[in-house]
Amino acid sequence: MKKGITNILFELVLGAAVIMLMGYWFDGVYVKSFGVAFLVALVLALLNTFIKPILTIIALPITILSLGIFQLIINGFILTLATDLLAPDFYINSFGLTIVTSVCISIIYSLLGIGKLND
């Protein structure tokens, strides 16, 4: 069953709340407003849909050799791309903090069920 527009918007609002939460949790993460957080959630959804699968396939050998740990680097890179696209209103100080933030976002997204294909 496909998601309706209301479910997608609801997940984007939840994602924006998670992004705002990261801004409150970590001093090195700056989010200007909830509107910017909504744009970050939208950009992350688009990057995770179109760019991340390509990067995952390209990096499959090193991901297998590292027992999946390299996937954290890919997640951090996707978040860095989102940071670069929305630079003045959303930024993260270091790549290490970007990886920690992406892990926290992934855990909270999983707990909330954001991004699941099936309902």
In tens, the pLDDT along 73-92 reads 999 999 999 999 998 999 99
pLDDT of residue 4: 85
Structurally, the chain folds into a number of domains equal to 1
pLDDT range class, residue 9, cuts 50, 70, 90? very high
Angle (deg, nearest 10), helices 70-85 and 34-50: 130
- Return the C-alpha torsion angle 9, 107, 40, 15, nearest 10: 20
Tell me if 82 sits within 8 A of 35, measured CB to CB: no
pTM over 0.85: yes
In a domain, 118, yes or no: no
Q: Is the pLDDT of residue 52 over 70?
A: yes
In a domain, 60, yes or no: yes
Q: Is the pLDDT of residue 119 over 60?
A: no
In terms of residue numbers, what domain contains 22? Answer: 5-112
- Return the C-alpha torsion angle 111, 23, 83, 74, nearest 10: -40
Which three-class secondary structure state does DSSP give residue 62? helix
In a domain, 119, yes or no: no
